[in-house]
Structure 1
Amino acid sequence: MTRKHASPATYGIDPAFGDAGSLHPVFTRFGRVHLPGFLLEPGPLDLVSALESSEGWVVSTMGGGSTVDFPASTFMEADVATQETLLRSAHAEAQGGFHYLFESLRISDLVEQGQPVAIALEGFYRWLNSDVFLGFARDISGHDDLDYVDAQATRYRPGHYLNEHDDEKPGAGRRLAYVLNLSPGWRASWGGQLAFLDPDQHVSEAYTPAFNALNLFRVPQPHMVTQVAAFAGASRLSITGWIRSSR
């Protein structure tokens, strides 16, 4: 059977952001922009539905300084004692520096490898790599060398987090990072904020993961995702990645 590719036209940017160039001065000054209500409906709800029904999620964390991935289904099927042991071990390592614990669905890899992926997710990945979105990002950032976008979905359950880092990776062409939040009804008290840090380690700005809000920011830039509270009433869903240059 021939694989059907989702159309980039499935998604559209809210007309309120039609003049992307007008946001350039804000981006230049702060190195980031926060764009609420970014996608036209029903795009964000379609993405939520696709993420909630997708298989292939992995728990991604670190052990002894190296990345450790294992199927999220394995963790969910484990007994409570085993789950708590993993959380305690991760939290202990997180005290000493860079560390993370969250679930990931690597959309870019799945699409490029021809693996099964929900039509809505493939369509969104291809739309991110269309002239529409890349042109939008170029106009806001002033970077005319943006060539392609990667994408992964992330799901932060209670206790999950991403410690301070700046996304810099020499030779990887990372120019911008983006986060599209897909958690309806999220409350600030549930944690999971995207927080930016100043040189004194104070939080200079933080964003609650409001549904259908896009955060776009310059790389490198110190930031983190604060731990999702144990009492959070949902998981923090997003699609995130880097906008890159191949030059």
Structure 2
Amino acid sequence: MSAAATRLSFAGGLDPARLAPTFARHGRIHLPGVFAEPAAKAVGRTLAGTVPWHKSLTAHGKSYDVGLDTLEAMPPERRAELEAAIAEAGRIGFQYLFDAWRLSDLMEAGQRSGGALAPLEAVYDFLNGPVFLDFVRKLTNDPRPAYVDAQATRYRAGDFLTAHDDAVEGKNRLYAYVLNFTPVWRPDWGGLLLFYDHDGHVAEGYTPSFNALNIFRVPQLHAVTQVASFVAAERLSITGWIRER
């Protein structure tokens, strides 16, 4: 399917003026049924299909993107050392472990794949088009949003993202977003997007759900809880930041 054939568009009933007071009050919002159903299903099928995933993680204070084949071929003792480093970082600070495909890096470099991956490229185009950017400006009552970056993500058993607030100097991040395309998920499977209040309690949480958009203000302390070891399903999404230039 081509990017043009995907024809992403908002579903009816998304009125940013009506939703703006909720966003202003909480600094975040969960919007189910955000895309017209045929396009949402096309994106979901693509994420569940042959995406050139790599494993995204930190180890010994550095970030890495590691090919899944490279991980599979790693000697057992080296793999055990890496897993120990990941666990140690998760215990004492910021750490993440999930599969990713850095969509916007490729799009900005003019490296479109087309073909089976075209629906994901169509999402990037939609996010950076006037319809979505105008929606975000009205939702947030903020004229600054200028462009959106994106990566596809896949969380499987054991994957997680520890608490952080997305604030990085010089990145010009205004808002974070998550577009969920997980067909079936239970909250007790983990993979929940949680927001924390100032005393460390969970203020709110969103379960991955198909064709839902989460947008939240940066900075805001949040995490993705570890996916349970017994889960065979995949938590699929496109996520990133809405930025000013």
**TM-score normalised by length of structure 1:** 0.91
Query: Is 1:8–1:130's contact at 8 Å kept on the other side of the alignment?
Result: no
CA distance in structure 1 between the aligned counterparts of 2:62 and 2:79, rounded to whole angstroms: 20
Q: CA offsets per residue over residues 15-63 of structure 1, 9 Å max, x none?
A: 121x211111111110000001111111222112222334431101111
Q: CA offsets per residue over residues 119-140 of structure 1, 9 Å max, x none?
A: 1111110111111000111111
Query: Is 1:87–1:159's contact at 8 Å kept on the other side of the alignment?
Result: no
Match of 1:120 in 2: 119
Q: Over aligned residues, Cα RMSD in angstroms?
A: 2.0
CA distance in structure 1 between the aligned counterparts of 2:187 and 2:55, rounded to whole angstroms: 24
Residues 116 and 132 of structure 1: CA distance in aligned 2, closer, same or farther (over 3 Å): closer
Q: What residue ranges of structure 1 are gaps of 5+ in the alignment? A: none
Shift of 1:111: 1.6
Of residues 229-238 and 159-168 in structure 1, the stretch that sits farther from structure 2 once superposed is 229-238
Q: Select which of 10, 20, 26 maps to 1:13.
A: 10
Superposed counterparts of 1:1-247, under 5 Å? 6-7=3-4, 10-17=7-14, 19-76=15-72, 86-117=82-113, 118-246=117-245
CA distance in structure 1 between the aligned counterparts of 2:176 and 2:32, rounded to whole angstroms: 16
Residues 112 and 245 of structure 1: CA distance in aligned 2, closer, same or farther (over 3 Å): same
Runs of 4+ in structure 1 deviating by more than 6 angstroms, as ranges, are 79-82
Q: What residue ranges of structure 2 are gaps of 5+ in the alignment? A: none
Query: Is 2:3–2:119's contact at 8 Å kept on the other side of the alignment?
Result: yes
CA distance in structure 1 between the aligned counterparts of 2:75 and 2:35, rounded to whole angstroms: 39
Residues 60 and 23 of structure 1: CA distance in aligned 2, closer, same or farther (over 3 Å): same
Structure 1 counterpart of 2:170, one-letter code: G
Shift of 1:203: 0.6
User: Does the residue aligned with 2:13 lie in a helix, a strand or coil?
Assistant: helix
User: Does the residue aligned with 1:33 lie in a helix, a strand or coil?
Assistant: strand
CA distance in structure 2 between the aligned counterparts of 1:9 and 1:43, rounded to whole angstroms: 5
Q: CA offsets per residue over residues 143-178 of structure 1, 9 Å max, x none?
A: 111100000011111111000000011221111110
CA distance in structure 2 between the aligned counterparts of 1:114 and 1:125, rounded to whole angstroms: 13
User: Does the residue aligned with 1:53 lie in a helix, a strand or coil?
Assistant: coil
